[in-house]
């Protein structure tokens, strides 16, 4: 299986067939497992063998299929599936860090990631330094000999800043720090984050991996040592594990992930170019456009601009008018979905940030995040153009 290409792994890797020889992966909707004897139960609690399960919070066959499949796709030794993307971000950071540790994080983060770094970790005595993730000098100045970890979104939500995984990893590894990358926007299809230097990759599977708006999920990927030695003990005792039903949804999502995100990224590129040419908007932000500040880096790192673009309508009133005039694109706050979704981050996903932080991050009153789905790109473009006209 090691020589298979990503698309083959996405369909076949990790499968565990029951005695019935089912084609589609079975949903082992069970929280527990029976033992042949009291001695067998004792033995399994001392040291469970491969494919020996104890309790669904610790592991489950359907969840293991998802973990093996996504680990193979990402090129990671192992994975731990979590109840949500935030359980993955929290699990990766909290299982590693202790009071007194120092972390350097990019400032441009999803609202809940910012909460974990800025409010949770600091509450337990972890020191966090925030930097402009696109500024390598800032990373260099902030990383200290005692820095334990660095954290960033490889493409930031929602401002689409691209962080140089290779360069930041080099700075971090020089002091022995662990590099944790929230890689949602790159998706396992476009990601080469581990080869580029990341030690740990985290996904919200809620986004492209499910891709059809059904379930929350997440995953932490890394070395077997890190996943089984550091992450698993923390996750299995604190309750953030993925449910078997969710794992099944995510497994089926992985089978079509490549087709979906390539189509979505292709449409996003076409739509971003067309809207930029219209020149009615203050700004079209998309890593696939040559005028994006990290365009060359985005292409080198992911090969494409991704499935999400951002528009600046100029003011909150104009942004709201635009949103309310959309007919195909829905107003919601997921991304990576088959349905195109428009979000006003300043009043929803990033509402809790202080005004000055929003300004610092470029989350302006007119900013709209547009996740491009699987609809016909011509229909989406027409929908956006009509709405922009009304705004
Ligand atoms: C959505 C998202 C998360 C959180 O994922 P959930 O599945 O909603 O918990 C974390 N990081 C980024 C970059 C996201 O876009």
Q: How far is the CA of 187 from the centre of ligand 1 (A)?
A: 12
Which candidate, 97, 95, 87, places its Cα nearest to that of 177?
A: 97
**Per-chain mean pLDDT for the chain:** 96
d(CA 139, CA 390): 42
Question: Would 1 be classed as within a structural domain?
Answer: no
Is the CB–ligand 1 distance for residue 203 below 6 Å? no
**φ/ψ of residue 257, rounded to 5:** -55, -45
Single out the residue of 95, 333, 93 nearest to residue 206, CA to CA: 333
Which pLDDT tens digit goes with each residue over 77-135? 999 999 999 999 999 999 999 999 999 999 999 989 999 999 999 999 999 999 999 99
Ramachandran angles phi, psi of 183, nearest 5°: -110, 25
Domain count, the chain: 2
Q: Does the structure show a pLDDT above 80 at 281? A: no
- At residue 139 the predicted structure's pLDDT band, cuts being 50, 70 and 90, is very high
Is residue 361 domain-resident? yes
What's the pLDDT at 1?
Answer: 65
The Å distance, Cα 157 to ligand 1 centre, comes to 9
CA-CA distance, 138 to 149, in Å (whole number)? 15
Sign of the CA dihedral with 108 first, then 73, 57, and 244 last: positive
Chain centroid to CA 135: 22
Kindly report the protein residue whose alpha carbon is nearest to atom 8 of ligand 1.
85
The verdict on 147 and 282 lying in the same domain is: no
Decide if pLDDT at 322 tops 70: yes
Cβ atoms 264, 372 nearer than 8 A = yes
The closest-lying atom of ligand 1 relative to the alpha carbon of residue 86 is 9
Task: Say how many Å lie between the CA of residue 203 and the centre of ligand 1.
Answer: 7
pLDDT surpasses 90 at 279: no
Average pLDDT (292-300) is 97
CATH of the domain at 268: 3.90.1150.10
Establish whether residue 113 lines the binding site of ligand 1, counting it when its CB lies within 6 angstroms of any ligand atom: yes
**Rounded Cα gap, residues 350 and 270, in angstroms:** 27
Q: What confidence score (pLDDT) does residue 361 get?
A: 87
When pLDDT is averaged across residues 153-166 and rounded to a whole number, the result is 96
pLDDT in tens, 3-32: 899 999 999 999 999 999 999 999 999 999
Q: How confident is the model at residue 162, as a pLDDT?
A: 97
Tell me the C-alpha distance between 7 and 254, whole Å.
Answer: 9
- Whether 88 lines ligand 1, by a CB cut-off of 6 Å, is no
Measured in Å, residue 204 CA sits from the centre of ligand 1 at: 5
Mean pLDDT of 272-278: 93
Place of tokens 């979000």: 343
* Same structural domain, 68 and 153: yes
Q: Note whether residue 359 is domain-resident.
A: yes
Coil vs helix vs strand at 39: helix
Task: Give the rounded percent of residues in the chain with a pLDDT score beyond 90.
Answer: 92
Give the structural domain span for 213: 6-253
Looking at 231, 253, 275, the residue that finishes a domain is: 253
Q: Are 215 and 250 in contact (CB under 8 A)?
A: yes
- How many A from CA of 254 to the centre of ligand 1? 17
Ligand 1: does its nearest atom lie under 6 Å from the Cβ of 161? no
CA-wise closest residue to 247 among 1, 14, 52: 14
**371 near 337, Cβ under 8 Å?**
yes
In-domain check, residue 94: yes
Tokens of 146: 């005692």
Asked if residues 155 and 287 have their Cβ atoms less than 8 Å apart, the reply is yes
Structure tokens at 252: 């089926």
Based on the fold, state whether residues 262 and 196 are members of the same structural domain. no
Q: Count Cα atoms within 13 angstroms, Cβ side, for 170.
A: 7
Global pTM value: 0.97
**293-to-162, 186, 187, 270, 299 alpha-carbon distances in Å:** 9, 17, 21, 19, 12
Question: How much distance in Å is there from the Cα of 278 to the middle of ligand 1?
Answer: 32
Q: Tell me the CA distances in angstroms from 294 to 156, 248, 297, 306, 336, one per residue in order.
A: 12, 36, 5, 13, 21
**What's 215's domain CATH number?**
3.40.640.10
Nearest CA residue ID for atom 11, ligand 1 = 110
Pocket of ligand 1 contains residue 86 by CB under 6 Å? yes
In a domain, 40, yes or no: yes
Q: In what order do the strands lie in the sheet with 283-285?
A: 283-285, 308-312, 367-371, 341-343, 330-331
pLDDT > 70: what percent of the chain?
99
In a shared domain, residues 222 and 275: no
To 5 degrees, how large is the angle CA 342–CA 162–CA 145? 135
Regarding whether 214 and 105 lie in a shared domain, the answer is yes
For residues 269 and 292, the answer to whether their CB atoms sit within 8 Å is no
Q: Which of 111, 206, 343 has the most ligand 1 atoms within 8 A of CB, as the residue to mutate? A: 206
Say if ligand 1 is within 6 A of residue 180 CB: no
Rounded to the nearest whole angstrom, what is the distance from the C-alpha of residue 331 to the centroid of ligand 1? 17
Residues 96 and 176 in one domain: yes
Distance 48 CA to ligand 1 centre (A): 32
- Give the least confident one: 169-173, 280-284, 336-340: 280-284
Kindly state whether residues 269 and 181 are assigned to the same domain: no
Is the CB of 210 within 6 Å of ligand 1?
no
Residue 306 Cβ inside 6 Å of ligand 1? The answer reads: no
Number of helices (H), then strands (E), in the chain: 17, 12
Residues in the chain: 391
Tokens of 97: 């860090």
Residue nearest to atom 2 of ligand 1 (CA): 204
In this structure, are 141 and 157 located in the same domain? yes
User: Once rounded to an integer, what is the mean pLDDT over residues 164-172?
Assistant: 98
Write the residue with the smallest CA distance to atom 4 of ligand 1: 85
């Amino acid at each position: 299986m090691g020589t298979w290409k990503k698309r083959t792994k996405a369909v076949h890797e990790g499968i565990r067939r029951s005695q019935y020889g089912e084609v589609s992966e079975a949903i082992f909707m069970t929280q527990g497992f029976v033992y042949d004897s009291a001695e067998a139960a004792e033995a399994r609690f001392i040291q469970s063998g491969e494919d020996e399960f104890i309790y669904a919070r610790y592991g489950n066959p359907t969840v293991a299929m998802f973990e093996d499949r996504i680990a193979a796709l990402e090129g990671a030794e192992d994975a731990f599936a979590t109840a949500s993307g935030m359980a993955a971000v929290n699990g990766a950071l909290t299982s590693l860090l202790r009071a007194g540790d120092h972390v350097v994080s990019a400032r441009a983060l999803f609202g809940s990631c910012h909460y974990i770094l800025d409010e949770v970790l600091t509450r337990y005595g972890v020191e966090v330094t925030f930097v402009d993730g696109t500024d390598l000098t800032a990373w260099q100045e902030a990383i200290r000999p005692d820095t334990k970890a660095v954290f960033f979104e490889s493409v930031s939500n929602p401002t689409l800043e691209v962080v140089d995984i290779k360069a930041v990893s080099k700075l971090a590894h020089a002091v022995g720090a662990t590099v944790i990358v929230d890689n949602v926007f790159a998706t396992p299809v476009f990601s080469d984050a581990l080869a580029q230097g990341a030690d740990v990759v985290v996904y919200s599977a809620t986004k492209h991996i499910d891709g059809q708006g059904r379930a929350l999920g997440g995953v932490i990927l890394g070395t077997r040592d890190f996943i089984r030695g550091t992450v698993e003990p923390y996750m299995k005792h604190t309750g953030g594990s993925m449910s078997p039903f969710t794992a099944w949804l995510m497994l089926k999502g992985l089978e079509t992930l490549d087709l979906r995100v390539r189509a979505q990224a292709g449409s996003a590129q076409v739509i971003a170019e067309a809207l930029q040419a219209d020149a009615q908007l203050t700004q079209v932000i998309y890593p696939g456009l040559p005028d994006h500040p990290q365009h060359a880096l985005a292409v080198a790192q992911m090969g494409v601009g991704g499935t999400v673009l951002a528009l600046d309508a100029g003011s909150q009133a104009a942004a709201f008018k635009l949103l309310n005039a959309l007919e195909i694109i829905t107003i919601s706050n997921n991304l990576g979905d088959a349905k195109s979704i428009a979000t006003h981050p300043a009043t929803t996903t990033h509402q809790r940030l202080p005004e000055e932080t929003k300004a610092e991050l470029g989350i302006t009153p007119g900013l709209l995040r547009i996740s491009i789905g699987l609809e016909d790109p011509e229909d989406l473009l027409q929908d956006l153009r009509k709405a922009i006209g009304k705004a």
